Copies of this chain bind each other. A is one copy, B any other.
């Protein structure tokens, strides 16, 4: 790469900002030696923190702002008052071509509202979606929408399928991703009209991926498809129910090992296996939900993550930039209703 990769960071988003963001950037810097960073936030607070990261400091430019989007601010308020915030300016840097992507661990609704306003949607896309990773029996899958669009029509779902398929190729490296529409059963007659219409359109559409048809909730973790398409309500319910179930089982495991002195002893022997399990389920491995369908790359990190998780989110953004995901989405939309499936070649 000749051009240096530039990543805009909202220094003030997330429960442990700005320290967590800066430490995350330091980890990302070691992974992506070509990257430089624009760090948006209050200079008097950020500059002293940078002195602790002598390897990171030379590739960071601090862009001062005192504005911060509060964790519970409404999207409309963020749009009115948040454009000069650390979050708003990070997204603006992408819109103005100063940065290749932006990452924030702040308020999701505000970040989406600012991103839509500043970056607009790509041609053919009515509504952007939030996509994320799920661990599965076969590795990882992506799912969208995770909550940006509570109600969706059939064409929204078809657009999500196209964007999700590019995301799976880019971020998971799957060559011909399979796509499933989340429903209450796999039979074609199940579900409501919107889903059946979307099923019909996806069966006809020319996608570089392969449309599998309807899937059920159990199929998500089974890894039956690479891309799970659903509206933002069901996607959010699925994501958070899976998170809750995972926490519940982890808690049951801990309780089981504390149950008796023998069980405690058993834990000593089981520890390597349990550590391996913990690593596999570590939410930091799956951190970073991407906003798809916009004219720029914005990744939302979980607000409660740590530096390692934040670095994962930065990695997702970098993948999308380096593999020219936006060009692929543009190409796939151009070919969607053509006679021949033409996988996007923009690499």
Contact = CB atoms under 8 A, between A and B. Distances in A.
Copies of chain A in the complex: 2
A269 B266 contact: yes
Given A74-B189, A237-B217, A244-B218, A269 B270 contact: yes
A30 to B, nearest CB: 28
Interface in A92-116: none
A29 to B, nearest CB: 32
A16 interface: no
A250 to B, nearest CB: 8
Given A233-B234, A256-B273, A267-B270, A242 B245 contact: yes
Interface in A204-255: 216-222, 230, 232-234, 236-249, 251-253
A263 to B, nearest CB: 4
Nearest to A251: B137
Interface residues of A, number: 62
Contacts of A136: 248
A314 interface: no
A51 to B, nearest CB: 38
Given A256-B277, A263-B272, 20 more contacts: A72-B187, A184-B232, A192-B233, A216-B240, A217-B238, A217-B240, A218-B240, A218-B247, A220-B241, A221-B244, A242-B242, A242-B244, A246-B249, A253-B253, A256-B273, A256-B280, A259-B276, A262-B269, A266-B273, A268-B269
